[in-house]
Each structure stands twice: as C-alpha cells, then as structure tokens.
C-alpha cells in the first residue's frame, strides 16, 4: 500500500491513517518530503505508528527531496494479552510473553535503573522480586553494580511458571541468586523472611491477585524496617513483539489510565502514611519507587 503524505498537515496525516484499511502484516509506504521530516521529526512518525498499531521500519531515501517511510501493520493475534490459557504456563517458555525482553526497550530500562538508584540498590543486602519470570530484572541489577557489590547481596526471585523458573536457574550461575516456583497468593508457605528491597513489575495487577490486599501484606510481612520498594505498572501492550504505549482495560477499544492510576495512588498514599518518600516516573511502564524518610 502506498500513501502520499507530502506537504500534509498533522491533522490531515492523522485522518489519512484513520481511514487506512491495511491488513495485519502489510507494509505501508508513505512518501514525505525532507522538509516534512525537518518539520515533524522522525519521533512524531514513530509515535504515529504506535497509535495505529504499526511498527516503523527503516526509512528509504527516494530522491534529493523526498523520503519513503515504511510502516508494518502489527498482527494483533500475536499477543500474550489475547491468550486464553489460565495455567501457570501462560507466561512460560513457550508463551508469547516469554519472548519479550523489556530491558531491550530504552524507555523501560532507563526508568527502571532510575527507580533502582532511588531505592538505593547499592546498599540493599536482601532483594526480593515477585514475578521474576526469566530473570531479566536481576540481570539489569547485575549490569549496574560492580560484581564485588553484586555477589555480596542475596537475591530471591519468585514466579508461578515452572518453565520460566527453570530457565532462570540455568541462565544464572551466581550462587547468591535463588529462583523459586510458587504462587504469589501463597507466599506464607515459603518462610522467606524480610528483605531490604522488594521489586514487582506487572505482577500484582494480575486478575488472580487482590491488588490492595496483596500489596499491603507484602509491605507488612516481607519488607524490613527502612526497606525500599520498586513497583512497575504496565502502561503498554505487547503486540507482535512491539511495545505499544497505553494500557487497555477490558471492554475498551482505546487506552485508559484509570485503573493504573488508581493502583499507583493507593500505593503512594499508603507508603506516604508510613513515612516514605515516594516518586512516580516512567512512560510505557510507570514506576513507583519508595524509600523511608530519615529523620534526625
């Protein structure tokens, strides 16, 4: 499919994309002028692609005055959000979810690293990650810290998927990192003790978990006095391997932030009442980072 975007206004371009009848898997070629690129910037066209469930491919220069932008229409069926599987392996090694590496997305990695720094990862001895899957979030910490610092910490990762946990165990050879296959709703069975930092990204929002109750229980029963927390709230969808901005609740055909903000506000108010300094940052994943206010 070919479309002409030369000298079009931003409103006209939006309307053209709204009217497109592109099939999933199809590549749309759009000709723009070099002056259009200077006017909008490439980022505007990357954002445009996401809005219409596309991925922007490498542009090709047509001649001295124009460029051809290429957009790949994502296949919506290639999404773990569509999975009807309710077993523990919905997020296992054979799943669409397992193919995702969030740390390859700069908008995730940058804000996750900032959250860890705010939570003072260097000085936290025991770290718990609830919903660790294949261990990517521990890998980021390992890359951030000098190895002498990393190896003197204790890491515990918990996930309900046995195949994901088996993969993480094979992937990590470090003796100070432990992976446990277990249900988040039954943590009491594990006798975990308390931790200096608790991380959970995208797990507590699962439909099988009572968010408010589980969050408070984790804080009350597993966080050390003066410990820190990093919680990640997905504000995106993963479609055909692409991270698309905006969480979409059930029964909506567009992204809506209400539920995400509701959970974030609950956690922030709760922790502030416990005398924590809380910051909220991020974009595609919104991070809530909290550390105890030290009074002299």
What is the tens place of the pLDDT at every residue in 239-286?
998 999 998 777 777 788 888 999 999 999 999 999 999 999 999 999
* Of residues 142, 141, 180, the one with CA closest to residue 160: 180
Is residue 128 domain-shared with residue 273, that is, in the same domain? yes
What range defines the domain where residue 146 resides?
A: 81-292
Is residue 226 domain-shared with residue 287, that is, in the same domain? yes
Cβ atoms within 10 Å, residue 223: 20
174: CATH: 3.40.50.150
Per-residue confidence band for 229, with pLDDT thresholds at 50, 70 and 90: very high
pLDDT digits (tens, 9 = 90+) for 34-45: 999 999 999 999
Is residue 103 domain-shared with residue 177, that is, in the same domain? yes
Distance CA 234, CA 287 (A): 9
Is residue 166 domain-shared with residue 55, that is, in the same domain? no
Is residue 169 domain-shared with residue 197, that is, in the same domain? yes
Helix axes 211-222, 258-273, angle to 10 degrees: 30
Is residue 24 domain-shared with residue 124, that is, in the same domain? no
- Write the CB contacts of 162 (distance below 8 Å, at least 6 apart in sequence): 88, 89, 92, 181
Is residue 66 domain-shared with residue 87, that is, in the same domain? no
Per-residue confidence band for 88, with pLDDT thresholds at 50, 70 and 90: low
Is residue 99 domain-shared with residue 234, that is, in the same domain? yes
Distance CA 266, CA 176 (A): 33
Length of the chain: 296
Which of 53, 73, 93 is where one domain is finished? 73
Q: What is the mean pLDDT of residues 228-235?
A: 97
pLDDT digits (tens, 9 = 90+) for 59-77: 999 999 999 999 999 998 8
How many structural domains comprise the chain? 2
Residue that is written with structure tokens 């968010």 in the block: 211
């Amino acid at each position: 499919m070919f479309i002409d975007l030369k000298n079009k206004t931003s409103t006209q371009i939006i309307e053209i994309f709204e009217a497109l009848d592109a099939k999933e898997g199809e590549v749309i070629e759009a000709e723009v002028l070099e002056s259009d690129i200077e006017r909008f910037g490439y980022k505007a066209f990357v954002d445009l692609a996401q809005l219409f469930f596309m991925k922007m491919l490498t542009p090709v220069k047509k001649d001295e005055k124009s460029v051809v932008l290429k957009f790949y229409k994502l296949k919506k069926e290639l999404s773990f959000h569509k999975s009807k599987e309710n077993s523990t392996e919905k997020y296992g090694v054979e799943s669409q979810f397992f193919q995702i590496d969030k740390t390859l997305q700069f908008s995730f990695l940058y804000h996750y690293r900032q959250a860890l720094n705010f939570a003072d990862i260097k000085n936290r001895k025991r770290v718990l990650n609830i919903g660790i899957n294949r261990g990517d979030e521990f890998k980021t910490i390992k890359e951030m810290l000098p190895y002498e610092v990393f190896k003197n910490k204790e890491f515990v990762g918990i996930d309900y998927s046995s195949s994901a946990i088996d993969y993480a165990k094979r992937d990590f050879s470090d003796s100070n990192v432990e992976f446990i296959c277990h249900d988040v709703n039954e943590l009491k069975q594990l006798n975990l003790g308390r931790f200096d930092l608790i991380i959970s990204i995208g797990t507590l929002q699962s439909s099988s978990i009572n968010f408010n109750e589980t969050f408070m229980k984790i804080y009350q029963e597993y966080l050390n006095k003066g410990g820190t927390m990093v919680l990640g709230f997905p504000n995106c969808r993963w479609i055909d391997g692409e991270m698309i901005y905006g969480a979409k609740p059930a029964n909506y055909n567009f992204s809506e932030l209400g539920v995400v903000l509701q959970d974030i506000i609950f956690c922030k108010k709760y922790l502030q009442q416990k005398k924590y300094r809380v910051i909220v940052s991020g974009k595609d994943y919104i991070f809530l980072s909290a550390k105890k206010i030290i009074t002299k």
